Structure formats: structure tokens, C-alpha cells
Amino acid sequence: MCSLPFMIFFVRSLTERLQQASVQLASAQERERNAAEQYRQISSKTAGLESKLTTITKSKSEVDAKLEAANVRIRDLEQGQSKEQTVAEAMKRSLGKEIEDLKKNLVPGLKTTRIANT
């Protein structure tokens, strides 16, 4: 059989370990609450950032589409300008030749002044 002093020591030892375990449990529960709160805050921030990202991505797509349309319009205008310039130069040559022919046929032997092509 166990002696009384040993039993008292054993019970005190168990009580102290129980108190120590209770303190550790309370500390662990507090850390868990803090972690859960941080998780909620981070989750909320993440949802907000994902929403902003979606909005920005949509805006970027719209801007990219407008930019592409503007680039197509610029190419079309440049091609049209090039064609108009080619036609204008051809007409200028043709009209210059026609003027020269008219001058030659108008008065034979009359000295004509050549019009400078600019």
C-alpha cells in the first residue's frame, strides 16, 4: 500500500500537470482564435482583390479591343492616303502632259514656258 505523503505528492503532481495543461490549452485556443480572425481578414482582402482583378481584366480587354480597332483604322487611312497620293501624282503627270500637248498644238512655233511640277 502507498503511504499518505506519497499520495499527497502524487495528487499535487497531477493537479499541477492539469493546471499546466489547462494553461497550455487556453493559450492554444487563443492562438487558434487569432489565426481564425487573421484568416477571415485575409479571405476578405483576397475576395476584394479578386473582384478588382476581374474589373481591371475586363477594362484591359476593352482597351485592347479599342486599340486594335484604332490600329486597323490607322492602317486603312494610311492605305487610302497612299492610294490617293498615287492617283494625284498620276493625274498631275497626265495633266502636265496634256497641257504640254495643248501648248504644242495651239500655236506651232510659239515658244512655250514649261510649268514646273511641284
pTM assigned to the model: 0.52
Domain boundaries, the chain: 1-89
Buried b (16+ CB within 10 A) or exposed e, 55-74: eeeeeeeeeeeeeeeeeeee
Res. 112: pLDDT tops 70: no
User: Is residue 103 very low, low, confident or very high in pLDDT (cuts 50, 70, 90)?
Assistant: confident
**Alpha helices, H only, the chain:** 4-106
Mean pLDDT of all residues in 60-89:
97
- Which pLDDT does position 105 carry in this prediction? 85
- Which pLDDT does position 67 carry in this prediction? 98
- Which pLDDT does position 114 carry in this prediction? 57
Mean pLDDT of all residues in 59-75:
98
- Which pLDDT does position 47 carry in this prediction? 97
Tens-digit pLDDT profile for residues 3-58? 767 667 666 788 888 999 999 999 999 999 999 999 999 999 999 999 999 999 99
